[in-house]
Amino acid sequence: MNFCGIDPGVHGAIAVVNDQGGLVMVYDMPIIQLVVGKSTKARISPELLAALLRDHLGATAVVEQVSAMPGQGVSSMFSFGESFGVIKGCMAGVGIQYQTITPAKWKKDMGINASKDGARAMAIQTWPSWAKTFARVKDDGRAEAALLALWLQRGST
């Protein structure tokens, strides 16, 4: 059985671990560029995400529960909420069972501090052969997705 972790948002990621906690795959969130008003915005592609998820039918998944954060604008929060909804809709559409969990809960369970660097460091330590996947600061979504999947795997065994 495989376990899927999803860090939502256009800069998020999807990761899959096996029943032994081995990292199987890490994907950046599939996005497309859309013209919104007078500018171009990145949005999650439901079609590409659904196609990616179909490759992992039978997996159990966890999606990080997102919420509004102080200081974020209305437009960016709407976009983030839309991304969360697209992810949940794609999961349901392809038939992958999922649950949600808050960042505070899964990070506490895994012993990770709140910083993005904490997740990257733990991912590199857990899967050293995948270190390049988590090497850059902007790879925090990949690390969080992988650790979410590991959190789910550990709770299921």
Query: Which pLDDT tens digit goes with each residue over 95-153?
Result: 999 999 999 999 999 999 877 789 999 999 999 999 999 999 999 999 999 999 999 99
What value does the mean pLDDT take over residues 75-92? 87
- CA distances to 27, 120, 156 from 139, rounded to whole Å, are 11, 7, 26
Question: Which is more confidently placed, 122 or 76?
Answer: 122
Burial zone of 152 (CB within 10 Å; 0-12 exposed, 13-18 middle, 19+ buried): buried
Give Cβ neighbours of residue 134 (< 8 Å, ≥ 6 apart). 120, 123, 124, 142, 143, 146
CATH fit for domain 3-156, picks 3.40.228.10, 3.20.20.70, 3.30.420.10, 3.40.50.980? 3.30.420.10
pLDDT of res. 23: 98
Query: Which pLDDT tens digit goes with each residue over 22-31?
Result: 999 999 999 9
Question: Which is more confidently placed, 3 or 10?
Answer: 3
Average pLDDT, the chain: 92
Q: pTM of the full predicted structure? A: 0.92
Question: Which is more confidently placed, 134 or 70?
Answer: 134
Distance CA 135, CA 24 (A): 18
SS (H, E, C) 125-149: HHCHHHHHHHCCHHHHHHHHHHHHH
pLDDT of res. 69: 66
Q: Is the pLDDT of residue 157 over 60?
A: no
pLDDT band at 68 (very low <50, low <70, confident <90, very high): low
pLDDT band at 12 (very low <50, low <70, confident <90, very high): very high
